[in-house]
Structure 1
Amino acid sequence: MDYSAMKTYAVVLSLFVVVSAVNEKEQQFSNHLKCNLESKPSEGEILPTTDWIDIKDECVNLARKQIRMEFEAALAYFQLGAYFSQYDTNRPGFAKFFFDASTEERSHAIKVFDYLLMRGQLTTYHPDPQLHTLLMGTSTNKSTELSKLSEALKKKEVKGGLDALNMALKYEVAVTRSIKRMIKACENEEVLSESDKLSLEKDEARVAPNDYHMVDWLITDLLDEQLRGQRELAGRISTLYKMKEGYGVIADFLYDKKLLEELNSKAA
């Protein structure tokens, strides 16, 4: 290698070292600015107090089970939507109705999830924060309607819209009962003893066992919508049943057509 080539090589090498050093410096500075969300606080590090997290464990456990149940309902309605979408069934009105119902149930699960996050649950420092744990295992709050529906679809026992609507109503009732159990647990109507009342008055850090906010949220946001949904299903069942008395086997076809028009007009 001649002198000029060696000189050029030396200049390129020095530039590479300088650029590498600058990039490393920038990377260090960038890392310094980043928040490491996965790291746990070191000893002595100041974190927000957890005194504001006063939700009862029983309410949390039931809410976590409710999330799983809402997803089960979403899956059940998705199965029914798929059933009515098949070419040999071909009921687009019922298919759209149940696909929309599936989306609604999934939104309910997300609502409960968001509420738990708002109350300080399912966070990094919670003993069991992962969402996937909400969807695994056997829940004591789990109904048998989903397994019955899967079996009925497998055996082609769902004869038409009337059977499907009746199945949906049974599932809604199961979900409603689950919400009411949650309300009961969070309301906690037990009568406090005089000593407990005095303790609450003296110790400002203690709170009454009633979770009024969660009860109010469950009633206004979930239960109200749930009861209205049950009423709607009951009305549809009644209408279709009466149509079958007058129109016989074509009642499903006529109701499906009307249902599709109704849903499309609402979406427009």
Structure 2
Amino acid sequence: MVKFIASILLLAVVAQQAYGDFKLPKARKVTEISKTSNDPTNSVMKELKKQNKNVILTHANAGQEEELKHKLICSLEVPEIPKAWLDMKDACISGMRHQIQEEINASYQYLAMGAYFARDTVNRPGFAEQFFKAAKEEREHGSKLVEYLSMRGQLTDNVSNLINVPTVAKQEWRDGASALEDALELEIKVTKSIRKLIATCESKPYNHYHLVDYLTGVYLEEQLHGQRDLAGKLTTLKKMMSTHGELGEFLFDKNL
């Protein structure tokens, strides 16, 4: 009886060990997975791998972009061409640059005059329109001279200092007559500058006949007509103001 009981106990122990060996790999696997998922070090490693992958991709994209830029950039050398057509002399070029600045200066002064008479406290719309129009014309004169220099191949360098921003000499006027007087003086100054430029460019050894003809036939012609127009308007305005005072200026402004 004792031997029988001992045999049964022995079989039970063997069976338990066998069952434990059979369950152990699965339990160990579950435990290892649980530990891996809860391990913060493992999450950090995953994030580092992800960032490293992004860095690699970024460097790769940057390399491709740089390579593409090199492919798109065309480095063309300036070809050697004859220079004989660049025949304008320094004195004439300097005079042209000076005249461009004179035209821009006049344009700014006319803008100041137009802005003054456009004020609500002055309210002379006729004078304002007259001076704003003159400002536009002077600006166009300067632009045409720039285009001429470009056509003659003389704007390949020193373009940055071609025009300096001027400061206006005057910003307020006593009345319309004083403004017209200043406008006439301004036109006389510009005309003298053009004549000086013509004298420089037509004399030896320059003989720039084409430029002289352009300045004489276009610029000087317009300047002389402009001076005559301002002189006539100033005469009429002074006559009206001498008999009617401010009412004369008001009526003159209405007809500008």
User: TM-score if structure 1 supplies the norm length?
Assistant: 0.68
Give 1:70's aligned residue: 103
- Structure 1 residue 183: deviation in Å? 0.9
SS at match of 2:161: helix
The match for 1:238 is 235
Matched, 1:59 2:92: yes
Take 1:61 and 1:17, find their aligned partners in 2: how far apart are those partners? 53
Residue equivalent to 2:122: 89
What amino acid maps onto 2:155 in structure 1? L
1:113 and 2:154 correspond: no
Cα pair distance change 1:21/1:61, threshold 3 Å: closer
Alignment of 1:193-212 (within 5 A): 209-212=206-209
Task: Show the counterpart of 2:67.
Answer: 25
1:132 partner letter: N
Is the 2:177–2:237 Cα contact (8 Å) retained in structure 1? yes
Aligned: 1:185 with 2:200: yes
Provide Cα deviations, 1:120-145, integer angstroms capped at 9, x if missing partner: 21313xxxx134354289xxxxxxxx
Point out the more displaced range, 55-64 or 12-21: 12-21
User: RCO higher in 1 or 2 (8 Å CA, sep ≥ 6)?
Assistant: 1
AA matched with 2:245: G
Mark the runs of 5 or more structure 2 residues left unpaired by the alignment.
1-41
Deviation readout 1:22-52 (Å, 9 max, x if unpaired): 322211112x2366xxxxx6xxx64333221
CA distance in 1, matches of 2:57, 2:160: 49
Deviation at 1:87, TM superposition (A): 2.7
Matched, 1:225 2:222: yes
* Identity percentage of aligned residues: 37
1:166 pairs with 170, 181, 184, which one?
A: 181
Q: 2:164 aligns with which of 110, 135, 139?
A: 135
Please name the residue that 1:140 is paired with.
none
Name which one, 1 or 2, has greater alpha-carbon Rg: 2
Amino acid at match of 1:169: L
The alignment's C-alpha RMSD in Å is 3.0
Q: What do the CA deviations read for 1:43-95 (whole angstroms, capped 9, x no partner)?
A: xx643332211012221111111111111111211121122122322212111
Helix, strand or coil at the partner of 2:177 = helix
Tell me the amino acid that sits aligned with residue 28 of structure 1.
Answer: H
Q: 1:255 aligns with which of 226, 246, 252?
A: 252
Q: Number of aligned pairs?
A: 212
TM-score (norm 2): 0.71
1:201 maps to what in 2? none
CA distance in 1 between counterparts of 2:105 and 2:54 reads 64
